[in-house]
Amino acid sequence: MYSFTVNGQPVSSEEDKKLMYFLRDDLGLTGTKDGCDSGACGACSVLINGRASNSCLFTLAKVAGKDVTTIEGLTQRQKDVFAYAFAQTGAVQCGYCIPGMLISAVSLLKKKPDPSDKDVRKGIRGNICRCTGYVKIIEGIKLAAK
């Protein structure tokens, strides 16, 4: 039995499987996106004990006893701030990468509340976006930090 929390709620599974599939298929938390299933795109990012991590690279055995936060588990204030900042800067096109971007941004802003462009680039280096060219996403994260 693998037990841990997801968005503050205790969960468990008899079967070991990838965290990404457990979140999406068993818990219906489809904000965690399946992009590459191999740790290359960051679309599946979640916070594990507060740190941005690719949920496709973690089994339930690896997260047992830990706290997992998905995009659905961000606070309303975090959601409102990022929605405003990303709308203002035009940071969203297709939107597929955005949940993972926001998870990485939350993790970054916890460590660096007033990040430089370089800090933001480093913070989202594991998240691929095929639409925007990153400039507006970086502006959006910096606006959210203000």
- Of 43 and 108, nearer to ligand FES (C-beta) is 43
Under 8 Å between Cβ of 73 and 8? yes
CB of 48 to ligand FES, least distance (A): 13
- Of 44 and 85, nearer to ligand FES (C-beta) is 44
CB of 87 to ligand FES, least distance (A): 25
CB of 24 to ligand FES, least distance (A): 10
In the numeric block, which tokens belong to residue 78? 């975090």
Q: How far is CA 43 from CA 12, 49, 59, 114, 146, in A?
A: 24, 18, 17, 24, 25
Binding residues vs ligand FES (CB under 6 A): 34-37, 39-44, 54, 56
CB of 38 to ligand FES, least distance (A): 6
Cα–Cα dist 134/127, whole Å: 10
In the numeric block, which tokens belong to residue 23? 């979140």
Cα–Cα dist 7/15, whole Å: 20
- Of 34 and 139, nearer to ligand FES (C-beta) is 34
- Of 73 and 99, nearer to ligand FES (C-beta) is 99
CB of 20 to ligand FES, least distance (A): 6
- Of 43 and 63, nearer to ligand FES (C-beta) is 43
Q: From edge to edge, which strands make up the β-sheet containing 9-13?
A: 9-13, 2-6, 67-69, 45-48, 51-54
